[in-house]
Chain A
Amino acid sequence: MQGFPWLSTAIFLPLLGALVTLFVPEAAAKTARAVALVFLSLSALCVLIIALGFHAGQGFQYVEQAPWMPALHVTYFLAVDGLSLVMLGLTAVIGIIAAIAAFGITDRVKLFYTLFLLLQTALLGIFCAEDLILFVFFFDVMLIPMYFIIGIWGHGRREYSALKFLIFTVAGSVVMLVGILALYFQTGQQTFSIPALAQLVTTQHVPVQWQDWIFLLIFAGLAVKLPVVPLHTWLPDAHVDAPTAGSVVLAAVMLKVGAYGFIRVSHYLLPAAASHFAAFIAVLGVINIVYGALAATAQHDFKKLVAYSSVSHMGFVLLGIAAGTQLAVTGAIFEMVSHGLVAGMLFLLVGVFYDRTHTREMTRFGGMYTTLGTGGGILGFAGMANLGLPALSGFIGEFFVLAGTFTVFRIAVFWAILGIVLIAGYNLWMMQKILMGPEKEEWKGLPRITRRELVTLVPLMAFCILLGLFPASIIHVLHGPVQQFVAHLGVK
């Protein structure tokens, strides 16, 4: 089974789809949607096949390696371990759901799906690239379609937001690339291969005076993507002005690229520097949690609240990675997946509400349990998932991040639990404002939730419950990668 290039197939099927979409006549919106859906599904099927053939605890699998730019020692190097697999799964699922959510788009449908499919290829590629230049390549390819998706199909100040997104992320990408090149030159082994560079960590190493600088460069580049406060300021704008499908992919998958990069690149390849800055990064994590939650609490705009909520939740991921214990890192990865599901759900719901009312002002809503029935109930579910209710996925991630952090940064945990109370606060107030209270006259008779909307929301709810009750279903594949990562960090 592992002989066939399943990874390349999974990654490039969406790209093939993008090419096919180019040949669809402009007027045939339905065809464009169908083509996109078919190729995304085929790609997801490949991911499923990869998952079924995957052996937990055997390190990198489905390895594909070929020279790409031999003069520069750059290789086309793909592989999956448990971490990659989990992220691939999330990307594949979110890709399909966001594509369905975008059915409402009627303007330049063909172009939209071409870009969307290109984006999916980039995202899938990032999570299995084992060559640093390939990683940066996919990282940069990801930005272009997202820039256009926000800029063309967005709302409000969409051009400003799209540009802000682009500038921040390109700046981050350049800083990261400089760090990666520095690493390349300093190791002097003429390789960009992540496993090969990781090997060097234990034997011969980058000069100490360089390590911290290289680490900070790569970390800063990725930090824009997570995003780490104060580099987050592109996020509320980009989220709010992006179309629903864009916000969903942005929050559910793209934000995870930063954290994935920490685990795969910055911390993994420069563990000594990572340990050196661990306390500093933990403080950043706590700031993310508390600051994001505070900012979310004060929002009136439903979508902005969800955006700041992402900043807050990614703080848990950052804190867990900083702590670097088996429990904390496992919790952090779990939180990445869980936040993907929950943030995806919440942005879809923002879309559901906005499409009907053309407002995102929470005070203008009210009584939506009555008005929207099931739709209101699903928002209640998502709100509870977001505040970390046990038996849903969010609880497991946060619980184990903090359980694992407690031994390392006790004070940080006590600050983080302040954040947990705030998170409960803004979610509860959001539900109170939007869902409860008397039904408002102006919203009476709004259309009930449609079947298409349910198709996007129900799978996410199901995954959220499944992972909350049976976290082992993904944690068992994470065991190996996390153990390796933690052991690596132990090397000073």
Chain B
Amino acid sequence: MVGYAWIVPALPLAAYILTVFAGRRLGERAAYFGVVALGIATVLGVTILIQAAGGARAHVSVPWLQIGPYSVPMGFTIDPLSAVMLGMVPLVAWMIEIYSMGYMHKDPEFNRFYCNVNLFVTAMLVAVIADNFLLFLMAWEIMGLCSYLLIGHWYKDPGNARAATKAFLVTRIGDVGLMAGIWWIFSVTHTFQFDQLAPALHAAALAPAVLTAIVLLVFMGPLGKSAQLPLHIWLPDAMAGPTPVSALIHAATMVAVGVYLVARTYPIFQLAPSALVWVGYIGAITAFMAATIACVQTDIKKVLAYSTVSQLGYMMLGMGVAGSMAAGMFHLITHAFFKGLLFLGAGSIIHAVETQEMHKMGGLFRKLKATSITFLIASLALAGIPPFSGYFSKDPILAAAYNSPYPIMFWLGLLGAFLTAYYMTRACLLTFFGKPRDQHTYDHAHESPAVMTVPLWVMAVPAALLGLFVSGGFGGFLSPGYTPADGGAGATVLTLSFPLLGVLVGALIYGSGRTEFRVAAIRALKPLYVFLKQKWYFDQLGLALMYIVLGVAWIAAAFDRYVVDGIVNGLGALAGLLGRAGRVLADGSAQAYMLTLLLAVAVGLIALQLIGG
């Protein structure tokens, strides 16, 4: 089966094409194209994963382009890394497409939504199995396009339109860095093939500083796509898209593909150890920073969005300190399930109460049983409470940071873990427990239909149990000889107790309906509160940068209009003279024109003879 892995992305592609051409006639039934295709893709994907676990491998490549001495083939590769993704991506995408049949029901652009999602899944799967940088980059950018289109799904709202543009533009900044890295590598190795990059770069014996520069350029791609500091600013705004999109693209798959790229090119990262330290620091700082911001968000999707930024930071931290990509990859997989589930749960809540403001919710547990239970499971996984999956994937990352020579990374990660547990406790308590704060919305709340709740339960199984059952074998499968880091008793006590502490603090503050303490705390910590509310001022920084660029653009345009053009027009008398000559031409006498030309040629010839021909 592994040799036919190209069928997996071909299925959603077929669904995309069918939806484009038959969608209008079928109405909402067109969703079945995608649902059926992804159902089959899931079976194939899981089959390939099982076979790969049994030792099967594949690498298929066909010639695509020949430019002079350089040949650029296209192909796919099935190894443990891509197989793991094939086990996860189609399943998550399948659940989200089923869920969307309920969530997007009666949306006037229902089919456009399914078109874009199917195209997205195609691109995602191509990126996962691509055997070379060029194909990967193409799929990566198509994903960006779909993300842009889906963030702007309800484009009539100017805010959504701005969010879509921002997402594309900010990730584009990372992408040009990635492209420069690819060109630099190609100029050394003459290949885009992933498996040949590290040996060829190693053989080229480049200076360490050059290697670091190359690797950091490549890392700019993940910086944008996986929303790492300082290019994270697009992801929270991306919540403007429909919630299933947030679950699929902006939590489970696309944003994680930056981490996947680091894993895919891990051999070249290992050639530049100082670049890996950068990766670790950026990951740790992002994990901490985003977690602090999540603590003050009141929009449930924004909490989850900053949480995603934070968790992607943990994955990068894992890449940086674990000495293997397996730790970060395991967190990627577990996160895909529990964060995807959290977003789907949030969607179910929003579906029920028609608001995203947690302060208007409360007491929803009684009304939304299935949603609440699955959301709580995913929250426990995210908070890193054993035996849920998040614990098994986050703990080795923190342990590796503990063992690394960079204690700051560990402490940032640990504080982040505390904050993660705290803000999820806060979110769950505000949403599901206590007294309803808005009686009207509470009265109208109703559990979502089965088409939405069944996917929640399906996602809840791996979110809860994946760590317990596969954490032992996962690392060794992905990178032979790897064992998850063990920080010893000291680290274990810390990594276990900080999340529990976070839950406790969250429960103390938000457990009762009384708000006096919260108000007092906000007043006491006003500057910090404002700083967090303003998201560390990164958005303002980005806007300032944009206005500077626009200012320069304005100056360039004015320069062009008044200086360059001004000089041309300013040859005043001459222009007037030619203007009169022009009128002769406009009368239609082409002879005059030809005469002018001949005259000019004659002058030129004479000049030529004079200067010494």
A contact set with B: CB distance below 8 Å: 140, 144, 147, 151, 159, 162-164, 166-167, 170, 173-175, 177-178, 181-182, 185-186, 229-230, 233, 236, 291, 294-295, 297-299, 326-327, 330, 367, 369-370, 384, 389-391, 395, 399-400, 402-403, 406-407, 413-414, 417-418, 420-422, 424-425, 428-429, 431-432, 435-439, 471-472, 475-476, 479, 482-483, 486
Contacts and interface: CB of A to CB of B under 8 A. Distances in A.
B305 to A, nearest CB: 21
Nearest to B68: A326
Contact of A174 (B65, B601, B613): B601
A402 B69 CA distance: 17
Contacts of A178: 601, 604-605, 607-608
Contacts of A173: 597
B67 interface: yes
Contacts of B568: 164, 233
B601 A432 contact: no
21 contacts: A144-B593, A147-B585, A159-B582, A177-B604, A178-B605, A295-B556, A327-B67, A327-B68, A330-B68, A369-B155, A384-B145, A391-B138, A402-B183, A406-B180, A417-B176, A436-B155, A436-B156, A436-B160, A436-B164, A472-B65, A479-B67
Given A326-B67, A432-B162, A475-B65, A424 B172 contact: yes
A429 B155 contact: no
Interface residues of B, number: 64
A402 B181 CA distance: 11
Interface stretch (B196-204, B315-323, B360-368, B557-565): B557-565
B168 A428 contact: yes
Contact of A181 (B152, B183, B184, B604): B604
Contact of B172 (A140, A186, A297, A421): A421
Nearest to B563: A230
Given A162-B586, A291-B556, A479-B67, 15 more contacts: A151-B586, A233-B565, A294-B557, A326-B68, A390-B137, A403-B183, A414-B180, A420-B179, A425-B169, A435-B155, A436-B152, A438-B157, A472-B64, A479-B68, A482-B68
Nearest to B173: A421
A292 to B, nearest CB: 9
A436 B158 contact: yes
Interface stretch (B413-421, B526-534, B546-554): B546-554
Contact of A167 (B165, B549, B578): B578
Given A163-B582, A174-B601, A233-B564, A417 B156 contact: no
A383 to B, nearest CB: 11
B24 to A, nearest CB: 11
A395 B549 contact: no
Nearest to B554: A298
Given A151-B586, A174-B601, A391-B142, A436 B161 contact: yes
Contacts of B137: 390
B107 to A, nearest CB: 14
A429 B546 CA distance: 12
Contacts of B22: none
Contacts of B604: 174-175, 177-178, 181
Chain A CB within 10 A, most for which of B134, B184, B568, B605: B568
Nearest to B613: A185
Contacts of B164: 432, 436
Interface in B583-608: 585-586, 590, 593, 596-597, 600-601, 604-605, 607-608
A47 B482 CA distance: 62
B27 interface: no
Contacts of B601: 174, 177-178
A261 to B, nearest CB: 17
B578 A389 contact: no
Nearest to B586: A151
Nearest to A399: B179
B557 A299 contact: yes
A182 B604 CA distance: 10
Nearest to A426: B553
Contacts of A147: 585
Contacts of B157: 437-438
A406 B187 CA distance: 7
Please classify the interface of chain A as helix (H, G, I), strand (E, B), loop, or mixed, using the class held by over half of its residues.
helix
B97 interface: no
Nearest to B65: A472
Given A391-B138, A438-B156, A166 B162 contact: no
B517 interface: no
A45 to B, nearest CB: 29
A95 to B, nearest CB: 22
A14 B613 CA distance: 40
B9 to A, nearest CB: 13
A437 B556 contact: no
A424 B175 CA distance: 11
Contact of B145 (A295, A389, A402): A389
B579 interface: yes
B68 A437 contact: no
Nearest to A182: B608
B186 interface: yes
A390 B141 contact: yes
Nearest to B162: A432
Contacts of A233: 560, 564-565, 568
Contacts of A175: 604
A174 B597 contact: yes
B510 to A, nearest CB: 38
B414 to A, nearest CB: 36
B225 to A, nearest CB: 14
A371 B608 CA distance: 60
A429 B553 CA distance: 13
Given A181-B608, A330-B67, A438 B158 contact: yes
Nearest to B603: A174
Contacts of A476: 66
Nearest to B578: A167
Contacts of A163: 578-579, 582, 585
Nearest to A402: B183
Contacts of A436: 152, 155-156, 158, 160-161, 164
A471 B556 CA distance: 35
Nearest to B588: A148
Given A421-B173, A437-B155, A159 B168 contact: no
A162 B586 CA distance: 10
A11 B64 CA distance: 34
A367 B169 CA distance: 20
B176 A170 contact: no
Contacts of A390: 137-138, 141-142
A475 B549 contact: no
Nearest to B139: A390
Q: Which of B550, B556, B578 counts the most chain A CB atoms within 10 A?
A: B556
A177 B608 CA distance: 11
Nearest to A171: B600
Contacts of A186: 613
Contacts of B579: 163
A476 B585 CA distance: 45
Closest 5 CB pairs of A and B: A326-B68, A298-B557, A436-B161, A390-B138, A297-B553
Contact of A475 (B66, B134, B158, B560): B66
A370 B154 CA distance: 11
A229 B567 CA distance: 14
A301 B161 CA distance: 20
A483 B66 CA distance: 12
Most buried by A among B152, B157, B158, B183: B183
A346 B245 CA distance: 30
A436 B596 CA distance: 50
B611 to A, nearest CB: 9
A437 B159 CA distance: 8
Contacts of B142: 389-391
| Max chain B C-beta neighbours (<10 A), residue from A166, A298, A475, A479 | A298
A299 B553 CA distance: 9
A485 B278 CA distance: 43
